[in-house]
C-alpha cells in the first residue's frame, strides 16, 4: 500500500483569457491558493507550454518546473487529450475535430493526423525532460459511429478498426518506452477505448505493450452503468492515472443513457462536481490505496450547474478528505504475541 498523492487539478477547464486563468504562473498560484499541491497541464495552448521547446530544451523544462514550484505546486502530468483524439478520426467527425488542430491542416485529414502524431511524440519527450513517468491521451476513434449494432455491422468492421488503431499507436507506444513514460488512455465514451473490453481489444493488438496504460475516471463508468469498483479490481495493474470527477445517472421513463439529445443539465446522465454526484469515492480511494496506486488524485472539474471556481475550491478539500494516510502497523498489534516456532507447533498439535 501507499498514500495517494494529491490533490491535483487538471487545468484544461479553467484556462481562459482573463487573469488569473490566462498564464501559467497566475493559474498555478490560483490553484495553490485553492489548496492544490499539483497541476495537470494540457499541451494544446502555447501560452502554457511550448511543446517543441519542452521536447528539445532541458533548460526550458527546468524553468517551467521552477515556475510551478515558485507558485507552490508540482507538475503531475502532461495531457494530449485533443492531439490523441486526432490520431484516429472517423470522417463523420472531420469538421468538428478540425477545431482541435491548427488552421494549416484543416480540411486535410492526413496532414491533421501527421500533426497530431508529432504532437504526441513531442509531449512524450517533453514528459521525460520534465521528469514525469506518465502522460494522458485519448485514443481517438474509428469505430465509434458503429457502437450501436444497427443496422447489423458487417463482419470484420470492428476488427479492422482496432487493427488500424493499433497500427497508428504502436510507434507512439514504442517512443513512450524509449522515454520511460506510460501513455494513459482515458477510458471515455466517444473513444474506441471506452470500456474494459475495448481496452483489451486494443491491448491484444499492441501485444500487451507495457506502456499502454489507463487513466481511471469513474464518471464515465457511471454514465455507462459500468461497475467502476470491479474495474479497479480487474485493471489496477494498468491504472497509472486518476481523475476525480463525479457524475450521476437518473434514468426516467423518458430518457436513459443516451440522453435524448438534450443539453447536459437536462440529461439523465450528467457530470457533477466532486461529492455532488453518485460516485462512491470512499470505496475508490480505498481500492486504489489497497493496490498501491502510485499516482496523483487529480480533480477534473466538469459540472452542469456549479461555478467552476467553487467546484475547484471544494474539490481540493474533497480530495484531502478522501486521501488515506496508510498505517505503518496493524490495528491489532496490541494483542500480538511473540514469535515462537516451538509454541506454534504445539498449538497446531505437531509436538508429541
pLDDT in tens, 226-251: 999 999 999 999 999 999 999 999 99
pLDDT, average across residues 160-164: 98
Kind of pairing between the strands at 182-186 and 212-216: parallel
Strands (DSSP E) along 158-228, which ranges?
A: 182-186, 212-216
Q: Please, what are the domains in the chain?
A: 5-347 (3.20.20.150)
What percentage of the chain carries pLDDT values higher than 90?
Answer: 92
Strand partners, 231: none
Strands (DSSP E) along 273-341, which ranges?
A: 296-299
Output the nine-digit C-alpha cell for 83: 492531439
CB-based burial label for 255 (10 Å; 0-12, 13-18, 19+): middle
Tell me: pLDDT of 72 over 90. Answer: yes
Per-residue confidence band for 339, with pLDDT thresholds at 50, 70 and 90: confident
Tell me: pLDDT of 352 over 60. Answer: no
Output the nine-digit C-alpha cell for 57: 530544451
Output the nine-digit C-alpha cell for 28: 498555478
Tell me: pLDDT of 145 over 80. Answer: yes
pLDDT, average across residues 145-172: 97
pLDDT, average across residues 119-138: 98
Find all residues with CB under 8 Å of 300, minimum gap 6, and list them: 10, 12, 13, 217, 243, 244, 245
The pLDDT assigned to 345 comes to: 85
Residue 213 to residue 241: CA distance in whole angstroms: 9
**Other Cβ atoms closer than 10 A to 171:** 12
Grid-cell match 506454534, residue found = 344
pLDDT, average across residues 162-175: 98
Cβ-count burial 134-154 (b if 16+ within 10 Å, e if not): bbbbbbbbbbbeeeeeeeeee
Give which of 72, 70, 20 is closest to 48, Cα–Cα. Answer: 20
Grid-cell match 520534465, residue found = 130
Which pLDDT tens digit goes with each residue over 306-333? 999 999 999 999 999 999 998 777 666 6
Per-residue confidence band for 335, with pLDDT thresholds at 50, 70 and 90: low
Tell me the C-alpha to C-alpha distance, in Å, between residue 56 and each of 47, 127, 132, 253: 18, 11, 15, 56
pLDDT, average across residues 265-277: 97
The pLDDT assigned to 327 comes to: 75
Give which of 289, 9, 241 is closest to 134, Cα–Cα. Answer: 241
DSSP 100: G
The pLDDT assigned to 333 comes to: 65
What percentage of the chain carries pLDDT values higher than 70?
Answer: 97
The pLDDT assigned to 342 comes to: 84
Output the nine-digit C-alpha cell for 80: 494530449
Grid-cell match 481500492, residue found = 287
Amino acid at each position: 500500500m501507499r498514500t495517494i498523492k494529491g490533490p491535483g487539478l487538471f487545468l484544461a477547464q479553467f484556462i481562459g483569457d482573463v487573469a488569473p486563468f490566462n498564464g501559467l504562473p497566475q493559474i498555478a498560484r490560483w490553484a495553490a491558493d485553492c489548496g492544490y499541491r499539483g497541476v495537470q497541464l494540457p499541451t494544446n495552448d502555447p501560452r502554457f507550454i511550448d511543446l517543441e521547446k519542452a521536447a528539445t530544451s532541458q533548460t526550458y523544462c527546468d524553468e517551467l518546473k521552477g515556475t510551478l514550484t515558485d507558485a507552490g505546486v508540482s507538475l503531475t502530468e502532461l495531457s494530449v487529450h485533443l492531439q490523441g483524439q486526432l490520431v484516429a478520426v472517423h470522417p463523420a467527425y472531420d469538421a468538428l475535430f478540425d477545431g482541435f488542430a491548427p488552421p494549416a491542416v484543416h480540411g486535410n485529414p492526413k496532414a491533421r493526423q501527421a500533426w497530431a502524431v508529432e504532437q504526441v511524440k513531442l509531449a512524450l519527450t517533453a514528459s521525460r525532460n520534465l521528469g514525469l513517468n506518465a502522460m494522458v491521451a485519448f485514443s481517438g476513434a474509428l469505430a465509434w459511429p458503429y457502437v450501436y449494432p444497427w443496422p447489423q455491422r458487417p463482419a470484420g468492421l470492428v476488427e479492422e478498426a482496432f487493427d488500424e488503431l493499433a497500427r497508428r499507436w504502436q510507434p507512439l507506444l514504442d517512443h513512450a518506452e524509449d522515454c520511460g513514460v506510460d501513455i494513459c488512455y482515458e477510458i471515455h465514451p466517444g473513444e474506441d477505448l471506452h470500456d474494459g473490453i475495448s481496452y483489451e481489444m486494443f491491448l491484444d493488438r499492441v501485444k500487451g505493450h507495457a506502456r499502454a496504460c489507463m487513466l481511471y475516471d469513474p464518471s464515465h463508468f457511471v454514465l455507462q452503468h459500468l461497475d467502476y469498483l470491479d474495474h479497479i479490481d480487474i485493471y489496477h495493474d494498468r491504472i497509472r492515472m486518476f481523475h476525480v470527477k463525479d457524475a450521476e445517472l437518473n434514468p426516467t421513463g423518458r430518457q436513459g443513457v443516451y440522453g435524448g439529445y438534450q443539453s447536459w443539465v437536462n440529461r439523465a446522465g450528467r457530470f457533477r462536481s466532486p461529492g455532488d454526484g453518485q460516485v462512491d469515492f470512499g470505496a475508490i480511494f480505498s481500492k486504489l490505496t489497497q493496490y498501491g496506486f502510485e499516482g496523483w488524485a487529480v480533480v477534473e472539474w466538469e459540472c452542469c450547474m456549479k461555478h467552476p471556481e467553487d467546484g475547484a475550491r471544494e474539490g481540493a478539500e474533497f480530495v484531502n478528505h478522501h486521501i488515506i494516510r496508510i498505517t505503518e502497523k496493524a490495528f491489532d498489534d496490541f494483542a500480538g504475541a511473540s514469535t515462537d516456532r516451538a509454541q506454534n507447533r504445539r498449538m497446531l498439535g505437531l509436538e508429541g
